[in-house]
Amino acid sequence: SSPAASSPGQSSDGTKTLGIVALVATDALNAAVIKGMKEVAADEGWKTIVTDTNGSVDKANAAMTTFSTTQKVDAIAVMAFLSTSLQSGLSSARSAGIPVVSWGGELTDGIVATTSAEAVGVQSVQDLLKDFGHKGSVLALTYHTGVLCYYRGIAFDAAVKKEPDLQVTRNEVAIPGQVEDGTKFTSGWLAKHPAGSGPLAIWGSWDEPAMGAIAALKQSGRTDVKVYAINGGPQALQAVKDGTLEQVVWQDGVTEGKDMMKAAVGSVKAGSSWKAKTYNVPGITVTKANIDQFLADHPDALNS
């Protein structure tokens, strides 16, 4: 069935609707992406509906099914779930002929566009290596359950595998508890790596465990450990400003949201001629050196 032909959700006044399935609406990056989508939607005359799944993949599938079968939206945006976990939601969307765009998932049958979750991971680990060097100990705070962190982790693993002189310790944080876990793992790791035991770094697969790590560093008064993170939420940017976070790859959620929305609109317009694509929105590596410039360019970044 061609998506355009059956565009079922067309409401009486012709307004089209995008159904957004959020991972955790309370997360800053999720919020930025939603913001980007809403901006383009407003320009294009679309409505948006957001469902917060609170991280539950089961609810994500349920929401996609509701969007497809009863609300009959015109397109669905699903955030930060593995596409391989969306079988029933995708199959509902497919049978209703509704295009799905994914943020950070993979291109599978039914998904017309996605943003790469790996790109910022690659960028982060490359910049880490550039800054930190190729020798020393690194604590990686990973999270395999979330798709973004999952791909960032894969990028990280691929890069450090080529670094024989890096001793990597991996610890898996839990959600909820990500901040607390970041603190606890770090302080244990610090105990084993006292000051002077060589170059030390901590890599957080997103802001919050890294913030926990910084808290542990502050608690124990250590300043010899460099902390790296991805996402670039207000608290991470503030930490870069304060000098407690070495660098953070600011993920441009708003742009990613915009790209996804544009893809959704484009695929609805193009119908069967639409070619599935992956967007690679580069992050911006923010360090103490460029933070002021960055904040000038992105005045909202500290409080949105």
Partner 1 sequence: MSTSPTIPNAAASPQPSPTPNGSGVIARDQRRVSRLLLLILSRYGTLIGLALMVILFTVRAPEAFFNITNFVNILSQSSLTAIIAAGLTMTLVVGEFDLSIGYAASFAGLLVVGFIALNGLPVAAAVLLMLMIGAAVGTANGVLVTKVRINAVIATLGVGTILTGLGFAYSAFPIAAGIPQSFDNISLGRPLLGIPNPIIIMVLVLAILWFILNKTDLGQKMQAVGGNIEAARLSGIRVDRVKIFAFGAAGVCAALTGILLSALLGSGTLAAADGYLLDAFAAVFLGSATLRDGEFHIVGTLVGVLIISVGFNGLSIFGAPSWAQDVFNGAILIVAVGLSTLSRRYAKAG
Q: Of residues 189-228, which lie at the interface with partner 1 (CB under 8 A)?
A: 189-192, 194, 208, 211-212, 214-216, 218-220
Q: E strand or H helix at 289, and its extent? A: none
DSSP 117: S
Q: Which residues from 136-165 bind partner 1, rule CB under 8 A?
A: 144-145, 150
- Report in angstroms the alpha-carbon separations of 133 from 95, 140, 162, 255, 283: 51, 16, 13, 31, 21
| The binder of partner 1 chosen from 102, 171, 205, 267 (CB under 8 A) | 171
Q: Which residues from 82-141 bind partner 1, rule CB under 8 A?
A: 82, 84-88, 91
Which span (37-45, 167-175, 198-206, 282-290) binds partner 1, by CB under 8 A?
Answer: 167-175
Report in angstroms how near the CB of residue 130 gets to partner 1 at its nearest. Answer: 26
What is the pattern of x (binds partner 1, CB under 8 A) and - over residues 274-293? --------------------
Size of site (CB under 8 A) for partner 1: 83
Which span (37-45, 51-59, 117-125, 278-286) binds partner 1, by CB under 8 A?
Answer: 51-59
> Which one, 6 or 235, has the nearer CB to partner 1?
235
Report in angstroms how near the CB of residue 225 gets to partner 1 at its nearest. Answer: 14
Cβ atoms of 221 and 275 within 8 Å: the answer is no
Residue 187 makes contact with partner 1 by CB under 8 A: yes
Report in angstroms how near the CB of residue 270 gets to partner 1 at its nearest. Answer: 26
- How far is residue 190's CA from residue 91's CA, in Å, rounded to a whole number? 48
Write the single-letter amino acid at 298: H
| The binder of partner 1 chosen from 6, 48, 278, 290 (CB under 8 A) | 48
136 three-state secondary structure: strand
Cβ atoms of 229 and 245 within 8 Å: the answer is yes
Which span (177-185, 250-258, 264-272, 285-293) binds partner 1, by CB under 8 A?
Answer: 177-185
Distant-in-sequence, close-in-space partners of 230: CB < 8 Å, separation ≥ 6:
120, 121, 124, 152, 204, 205, 206, 207, 248, 249, 251, 283
- How far is residue 73's CA from residue 67's CA, in Å, rounded to a whole number? 6
